[in-house]
Every structure is written in C-alpha cells, then in structure tokens.
Amino acid sequence: MLCIAGFDPTGGAGLLADARALASEGVRVAAAITGLTRQRPIDEATIEQLMEPVKVGEVVSTLMQDLAPDAVKIGMLGSAATAHAVAQALAPFAGRTPIIVDPVLAAGAGGRLADDETAAALLAELAPLATLVTPNIPEAELLTGVRIDGPAKMEKAARRLCERGAKWALVKGGHLAGDPVDVLVGPATVRRWRRRRLATRTVHGTGCTLSSLIAGALAQGQPIPEAVARAARRLRRGIATAWPPLPEGWMFLGPMR
C-alpha cells in the first residue's frame, strides 16, 4: 500500500502511525513524505515542507508505476501545490486503485496543518479521485460549509462530499457532544454507528490510524462498510488502552488487537 502523508517524529501520527496500523493488518507500506511536523503532547503542532511539491508528485507517480499498490491513503499534504501534484500523479490510477483521502487540516491537540487554499485544492482535485473521504466534524464543516450539530447534518455534509466526486464519505463524530456517532454515505447507502464515549484525554493519531486501517482492509478486498466497521472497532481498542508519555497532554494509542 502507498501512504502519502507527513512525518511526525513522535510516531503517534502521520506515516509512522500509518505503518504501525497497516503492519497490524499484514499490509506492507511504501511512502511519500509531504512534510515534517513538530508535535508535542503539550503544544500546538507546526509543519515544515520537506520536498518541493513537484518532487512529491514524481515520487508518487514512480511508486504507483513500480509497485502497483493495492490501495492509496492520503493524509497531511501541507500545501495546495502538493495537493495538485499528488492529484496529477494519481489521476491515471483512479477508479482501479482504492484511494482513501483523510483531509488532515489540523492536529488533534491544536495547530493548523493546512491553509484554506490547501483545503480548496483537496476538495476540487482529490475528492473526485477518492474512493472514500474521512473527515472529522471540523474538517467536514470547513470542506462543505455545513454547520454540524448532529447525525443529520453529518449525513448532509457527507452527501456534499459525494456530490464533489467522492464515491463514499465517512464523517467521524468524535467532536459531537455526548456519545460519538460516525456516518457513512455511499451509493444508495447510509450507515450510522453510535458508540459509548470512552473517558480519556485526547488520543494522538486516531484519524491517521482509522483511515489507514480502512485502507488496509480495502487493499485486501473488503467492502467499504465492513472495512469501516472493523477499523472503528480496532481503533476503539487502541483508545481504550491509550497511555500518556507525560502526566498531562495527549496520549498514544495502545494495542488494537
């Protein structure tokens, strides 16, 4: 599988989290690094561009041709130019290779990882290539303009993402008050999952890990609703066993077995 994302030196999010999740699915990872993030348990995240966008696109194109991955997962892009380069590289493979777009616009503990131009490029150029888009509520609000206050508005936002070209859209409900609800919309399909909220501090890298677990399942041929449900169950086990590197701040995901 090919992961296109940023590098988080803590290993809790980004490419290292992707690799950890996919290894647990028995999936081998190839990667294109889009940027370096600075993330600490008690501070906001920052991002630094590591490669010129055109070089990122060249790496993606080469890996797609040389390795023929069974799925692609896109995480943090960092700039509109990188989003454009990645979209150009993946366009010839859309429709025959599952492409999962996790629109990473901000770090869970705070700090923007994408500006408005990047969000617009993601919506205009990558959503039409996506088999599945997996925004959380703030990301879905920014991408669609829908003010989300519950599952009905989550479904509305997911439909708007499908109208922009995504085949499926999963709006994650961890930011809702009360128990979280996830809403999946696809061809003639709407699925909702409500789960009891686990009492814990912010857990680092949940979005990266969930999208990677889904992508790993798709790489092995699972249908999207089943892949989403299984990935969410595994992520929940990781949240339930999360552990803190410091007495305060965010926590790392625990085992997901």
CA angle 70, 164, 162 (to 5 degrees): 65
Q: The domain spanning residue 207 has which CATH number?
A: 3.40.1190.20
Q: Within a domain: residue 212? A: yes
Give dist(CA 176, CA 173) in Å, integer. 6
Whether 72 contacts 1, CB under 8 Å: yes
**Tens-level pLDDT at each residue, the chain (257 residues):** 999 999 999 999 999 999 999 999 999 999 999 988 888 888 777 777 668 999 999 999 999 999 999 999 999 998 999 999 999 999 999 989 999 999 988 655 555 566 889 899 999 999 999 999 999 999 999 999 999 999 999 999 999 999 999 999 999 998 888 888 999 999 999 999 998 888 788 899 999 999 999 999 999 999 999 999 999 999 999 999 999 999 989 999 999 98
152: left (phi over 0), alpha (psi -120 to 50) or beta: alpha
Q: Within a domain: residue 77? A: yes
> Strand locations in 68-166, DSSP E?
72-74, 99-101, 132-133
Give dist(CA 128, CA 162) in Å, integer. 8
pTM comes to 0.93
Q: Within a domain: residue 245? A: yes
Of 25, 29, 37, nearest in space to 63 by CA: 29
Instruction: Say how many domains are in the chain.
Output: 1
Q: Which residues pair with 35 in a beta bridge?
A: 49
Q: Within a domain: residue 176? A: yes
Q: Within a domain: residue 66? A: yes
Q: Within a domain: residue 223? A: yes
Give dist(CA 172, CA 170) in Å, integer. 6
Domain span at residue 141 reads 2-252
